[in-house]
Amino acid sequence: MIIIDGKKVSAQVKEQVAEETKALKAKGIVPGLAVILVGDDPASRVYVNNKKKACELVGFRSVEYSLPATTTQQELLDLVEELNNRQDINGILCQLPLPKGLDDNAVIEAISPLKDVDAFHKQNVGRIMIGDYDFLPCTPAGIMEMLRAYDISVDGKKCVVIGRSNIVGKPMGMLLLHENGTVTICHSHTKNLSEITREADILVAAIGKAKFVIADMVGEGAVVIDVGMNRDEKGKLCGDVDFESVKDKCSYITPVPGGVGPMTIAILMKNTLKAAKLQNGIQ
């Protein structure tokens, strides 16, 4: 069994981004990412801080907008509009979910598709569907990058994704399909889940339930990718996979922390770099 090192692969991706950023800076272009955080959710604060740190590391300019939970929908949309029009901002992301009373979708749709480095805008989602895209959503794209880094081919493999959210499960299924996997997407209405997951050559768990995937749900030699970010009964960070019980059955497994999480941020950097290039007419 091999533990996939997301930290190592993400460091390689960020190094590559930093190299290309240097070359852009020599042309007078500094990629800029605007991060909007509304309210004081502690998990969101940690994610935003990690994104800012990654920007510093690769040489981007990052601008944070920390808004109170009392921010109105219109105030948020006005800020997005201002950022859409700013030349020094190439990527915009709004940390989701927003506090109650604010509409995630309205904000996603307000972000210019050219600056939508999360790839959540309808226009970008549609382009991913037909395989003609500029940006891929960070978490699924990070997983594909990890598979490539470990020479794990998807072609012809049975791929099972648990979870069908717009940000992870659905696009994950699509990216595996683009790489010629045979894809099954499971969700809370799926019958006989364990029977389906046991058949998987590649199993992706994106459920949001601590240690949900146990050894009995995993086939011998499967590649297991754990997207979950949960807290266990002791408050310790853990994934959707019960790592200890599953690890001996797998050929490869991602840990939590140190697996998918760092890759998500690395791809955000890659997308922001690409946005800066596209907005400056550089291919």
Q: Which residues are catalytic?
A: 51, 95, 118
Q: Which residue lies nearer to ligand NAP by CB, 31 or 137?
A: 137
Binding ligand NAP by CB under 6 A: which of 127, 164, 247, 277?
A: 164
- Structural contact between residues 59 and 19, judged by C-beta atoms closer than 8 angstroms: no
Residues 198-227 that bind ligand NAP (CB under 6 A): 206-209, 227
What span, in angstroms and rounded, lies between the C-alpha atoms of 68 and 202?
A: 41
Query: Which residues from 128-147 bind ligand NAP, rule CB under 6 A?
Result: 139
- Residue 76 to residue 66: CA distance in whole angstroms: 11
DSSP states of 123-150? HHHHHHHTT--S---HHHHHHHHHHHHT
* Residue number, nearest CB to ligand NAP: 165
Helix H or strand E segment including 208: none
Do the strands 237-238 and 230-231 form a parallel or antiparallel pair, or are they unpaired? antiparallel
Options 15-23, 100-108, 175-183, 259-267: segment touching ligand NAP (CB under 6 A): 259-267
Which lies closer to ligand NAP via its Cβ, residue 100 or residue 189?
A: 189
- Report 87-106 residues binding ligand NAP (CB under 6 A): none
As measured in angstroms, the least distance from the Cβ of 13 to ligand NAP is 14
Sheet harboring 182-186: ordered strands across?
A: 2-3, 250-253, 222-226, 202-205, 158-162, 182-186
Figure out which of the listed residues 111, 167, 204, 273 binds ligand NAP, where binding follows CB under 6 A: 167
Sequence-separated (6 or more) residues with CB below 8 Å from residue 66: 37
| Contact status: 165 vs ligand NAP (CB under 6 A) | yes
Q: CB of residue 209 vs ligand NAP: minimum separation in angstroms?
A: 6
The residues pairing with 100 across neighbouring beta strands, listed in sequence order, are: none
CB of residue 172 to ligand NAP, shortest distance in Å:
9
Contacts with ligand NAP, residue ranges (CB under 6 A): 139, 162-165, 167-169, 186-190, 193, 206-209, 227-230, 260-261, 264
